[in-house]
């Protein structure tokens, strides 16, 4: 899964994950199965209605429009997703991270014939592999790409802290907290440190001491950090 930078209007850089090629292929397979099922049901309906041969072509064209326009309609009205894309957690966006407009979806849909239909996906796969932003020809022309909305979970986002093998806890009283309570403390503490909000850290310090009845002369920022580490240590022993 590659990354590319999005520059917002406020000149803030955001790293965005492009959708994995495997996810895009699986989404395509799901969407293709849905279209095939639709056609099967459509033919079954025409046979059941015993439509006159002279009229069947016009009815066929009319009923086949939803399948023919499947990608264009669903991506336009489902915020860059089809059923397959939604299932795989991927979505079409502009390169700046904004929602594509009608014309962008239309260009992608028109060029799908070149990218995928006429070449069995060969051009699309080749272009995606050589481009650094996960773009097939239709994406390049439309200024779009397909991103993954799956959130990477890092150890720092979980309850646990990375601890040295010889770590020695200081406050066994921290085990009075529940996992969700400590997760809240950790989230507030991490955000406060990033934003330099000492008031939040001081409030956490006072609240933890009140609940645990711990007496400590450590600075609030150090005390709360040790409490989180100690809780991580004890929960790992369970």
Q: Do residues 201 and 135 lie in contact, with contact meaning Cβ atoms separated by under 8 Å?
A: no
pLDDT attached to residue 119: 87
pLDDT given for residue 53 in this prediction: 62
Angle between helices 179-195 and 198-212 (to 10 degrees): 150
If we measure between CA atoms, which residue out of 153, 149, 152, 119 comes closest to residue 136? Answer: 119
Q: What length does the chain have?
A: 238
pLDDT for 180 equals 81
E strand segments, the chain:
3-7, 13-17, 90-94, 144-148
Check residue 183 and give its pLDDT. Answer: 86
Taking 70 as the pLDDT cut, the residues of the chain under it are 1-16, 53-55, 132, 151-160, 237-238
Residue-level pLDDT at 217: 92
**pLDDT, position 16:** 60
Residue 149: the pLDDT is: 80
């Amino acid at each position: 899964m590659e990354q590319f930078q999005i520059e917002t209007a406020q000149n803030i850089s955001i790293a965005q994950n492009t959708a994995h090629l495997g996810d895009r292929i699986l989404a395509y397979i799901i969407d293709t199965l849905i279209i095939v099922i639709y056609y099967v049901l459509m033919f079954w309906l025409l046979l059941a209605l015993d439509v006159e041969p002279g009229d069947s072509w016009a009815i066929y064209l009319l009923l086949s429009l939803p399948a023919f326009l499947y990608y264009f309609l669903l991506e336009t009205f489902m915020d860059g997703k089809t059923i397959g894309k939604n299932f795989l957690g991927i979505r079409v966006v502009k390169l700046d991270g904004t929602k594509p407009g009608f014309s962008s979806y239309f260009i992608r849909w028109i060029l799908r014939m070149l990218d995928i239909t006429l070449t069995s996906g060969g051009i699309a796969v080749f272009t995606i592999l050589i481009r650094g932003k996960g773009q097939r020809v239709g994406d390049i022309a439309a200024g779009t790409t397909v991103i993954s909305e799956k959130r990477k979970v890092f150890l720092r986002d979980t309850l646990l802290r990375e601890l040295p093998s010889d770590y020695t806890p200081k406050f066994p009283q921290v085990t009075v907290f529940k996992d969700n309570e400590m997760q809240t403390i950790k989230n507030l503490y991490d955000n406060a440190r990033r934003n330099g909000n000492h008031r939040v850290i001081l409030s956490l310090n006072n609240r933890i001491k009140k609940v645990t009845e711990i007496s400590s002369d450590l600075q609030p920022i150090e005390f709360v950090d040790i409490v989180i580490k100690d809780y991580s240590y004890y929960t790992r022993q369970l």
